[in-house]
Structure 1
């Protein structure tokens, strides 16, 4: 049987567009994976550095995120905020966020104190204890508590409210407390009465997932070109019968 190829300009243009889109999206996913690999490396390097004392004048610099810190002061127990939809494994729950007044100043830093499980009664918020008086806590600096999807407007920011997302800037505006523009994920201290979990998830967010998506986009690009070639030969063969 004699094989012939039928050139189809419109089909070729369509195949090239699909292939180009697939390659561009595949490259984008690869770039996301590379970014998160670099993020992990920075996190590990900064976590290995000795902790430094957080003070009211600590400035936000590019190398500040993920640094370990210790800070003295008191929790503002009148302003707890619960961040909802923060699972731990297969269990749903909350992050407890609370302002922390830095000793010797009027400045505060927003502390993620830990994770609390959701009660079996859906609308019941979990109980927690707050140490009274001066404490020294340790943790690591993060620039965001993470953002989850919100449908519509959430409840107004107020003491004891459960909501999806919060930023130091929003809490400062609602509470009137001067807050530093970052957060601290608390790791220590933990007392026997402290039921909060502090095995904070690493911010890697699926490097393998990005690689898998990149493979799918590259495969789509290859399939578009292969489909054009195969159908071109088949149509050409039929024409020459």
Structure 2
């Protein structure tokens, strides 16, 4: 007598729990990547809007970073060559290197109080044989005029251990404006400047765009959503397969 084929789902607790965890993990990570992509897209929109704005001149009065982030600024003053700091682990085109940071004393203003801004002057390659050895580069003396892009900070990289007290010529992984102000005793603007104007100082100024990585985050989000869907499909298909196999086995005669 022919055996009829019937679909039947076999529920098992352990695979169900594992599937729920995988689905939740996939959705959570996908949503996080989506939010990161949305944040980068918002930055890109703000960049495009403010790139069209005219360059403004930075005076001595403290500014609100929310109002001027990603604006192009013109600065007049002098570099404080005795207080350079180097941000490590900042590769350029696959080459290890540093960002050269230096305080810039703004020209006298109506406030009568000296005001400074921390400037990322450019990029230097790292010596592959000696990490602590830095190539020489000139610093313009006296009053100069430069231009740059306003950034909230320099971003962060993975840091292991304590960097220790900040001092001139220090090589650090990360640097906060408040930290630099406390160590140098300079009255700093609450933002940093990525110098974009040319200077004969052997430094490269190919700065990564702050919104870089939008498509990468979108792609990661798709992968995590796909993982959640595949885990659910696998649980359902294997449940029906096991249930149907048990149902359609021929009965054993006694």
Q: Same fold (TM over 0.5)?
A: yes
Query: Which residue number in structure 2 is paired with residue 212 of structure 1?
Result: 219
> Quick check: 1:4 aligned with 2:13?
no
In 2 relative to 1, CA 226–45 (structure 1 residues): closer, same or farther, beyond 3 Å?
same
Query: Which residue number in structure 1 is paired with residue 55 of structure 2?
Result: 51
How far did 1:45 drift?
1.5
Distance 1:225 1:163 in 2: 46
Match of 2:122 among 99, 114, 132: 114
Indicate conservation of the 8 Å contact 2:10/2:242, yes or no.
Answer: no
Distance 1:140 1:70 in 2: 9
Indicate conservation of the 8 Å contact 1:144/1:183, yes or no.
Answer: yes
How far did 1:7 drift?
4.0
Distance 1:131 1:6 in 2: 77
Query: Which residue number in structure 2 is paired with residue 81 of structure 1?
Result: 85
Query: Which residue number in structure 2 is paired with residue 93 of structure 1?
Result: 97
Query: Which residue number in structure 1 is paired with residue 177 of structure 2?
Result: 168
Return 38-47 or 67-76, whichever deviates more: 38-47
Indicate conservation of the 8 Å contact 2:105/2:117, yes or no.
Answer: yes
Distance 2:91 2:42 in 1: 25
**Can you give the 5+ residue segments of structure 1 that lack an aligned partner in the other structure?**
none
Query: Which residue number in structure 1 is paired with residue 166 of structure 2?
Result: 157
- How do residues 8-87 of structure 1 correspond to structure 2 at under 5 angstroms? 8=11, 10=13, 11-87=15-91
Distance 2:129 2:9 in 1: 67
Indicate conservation of the 8 Å contact 1:155/1:161, yes or no.
Answer: no
**Can you give the 5+ residue segments of structure 2 that lack an aligned partner in the other structure?**
250-254
In 2 relative to 1, CA 58–46 (structure 1 residues): closer, same or farther, beyond 3 Å?
farther
Aligned pairs, how many? 239
Distance 1:85 1:228 in 2: 44
SS at 1:114's partner residue?
strand
In 2 relative to 1, CA 228–73 (structure 1 residues): closer, same or farther, beyond 3 Å?
same
TM-score (norm 1): 0.92
SS at 1:188's partner residue?
coil
Deviations 1:203-237 (A, max 9, x none): 12422221221122111111121112111111112
Distance 1:5 1:214 in 2: 34
In 2 relative to 1, CA 31–58 (structure 1 residues): closer, same or farther, beyond 3 Å?
same
Return 29-38 or 82-91, whichever deviates more: 29-38
Match of 1:195 among 193, 197, 202: 202
Deviations 1:93-127 (A, max 9, x none): 11110011110041100011111111243231121
